[in-house]
C-alpha cells in the first residue's frame, strides 16, 4: 500500500548536499516525490512509497548527509499524488 509523507527538515540542511543525498536515498528505497530548499532555511520533501520504506527514509532524514546538522523533522501524512521518479527542485 502506498503512502505519502510531507517532511520538513530544519537545522543546517542547506548548502550541505542534503537534496542530492535525499534523492539518492529515495532511489535506494524506491521512494518517489521531490525535495526542495525553502526560503526559511529548511528542506521540504514530498515522499511516496511503501510505509516501511518511508519510515526508513524519515529515519535517514533525522541524520541527513555527514555535513548536515538536523535539529527537527516534522512528518505529516497526505493524499497520494502518484509521483513518478524523485526530483530535486
Distance from chain centroid for Cα 22: 6
pLDDT at position 22, please? 98
Answer yes or no: 19 catalytic: yes
Strand pairing class (86-88; 32-37): parallel
Res 23: pLDDT: 98
pLDDT tens-place string over residues 67-76: 999 999 999 9
Please identify which of the residues 15, 37, 53, 55 carries the catalytic annotation: 37
Query: 15-61 pLDDT, tens per residue?
Result: 999 999 999 999 999 999 999 999 999 999 999 999 999 999 999 99
Domain count, the chain: 1
Rg of the chain over all Cα atoms, to the nearest angstrom: 12
Q: What is the CATH number of the domain that holds 10?
A: 3.30.70.100
36 is in which domain, residue-wise? 2-88
What local confidence, expressed as pLDDT, does residue 38 receive? Answer: 98
Catalytic residue among 19, 76, 82, 84: 19
In the sheet where 2-12 sits, what is the strand order?
Answer: 69-78, 2-12, 43-50, 32-37, 86-88
Instruction: Please give the pLDDT value at position 52.
Output: 97
Burial class (CB in 10 A: 0-12, 13-18, 19+), 52: exposed
Amino acid at each position: 500500500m502506498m503512502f505519502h509523507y510531507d517532511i520538513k527538515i530544519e537545522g543546517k540542511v542547506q548548502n550541505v548536499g542534503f537534496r542530492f543525498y535525499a534523492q539518492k536515498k529515495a532511489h535506494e528505497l524506491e521512494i518517489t516525490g521531490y525535495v526542495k530548499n525553502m526560503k526559511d532555511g529548511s528542506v521540504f520533501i514530498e515522499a511516496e512509497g511503501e510505509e516501511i520504506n518511508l519510515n526508513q527514509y524519515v529515519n535517514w532524514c533525522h541524520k541527513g548527509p555527514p555535513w548536515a546538522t538536523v535539529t527537527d523533522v516534522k512528518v505529516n501524512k497526505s493524499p497520494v499524488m502518484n509521483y513518478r521518479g524523485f526530483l530535486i527542485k
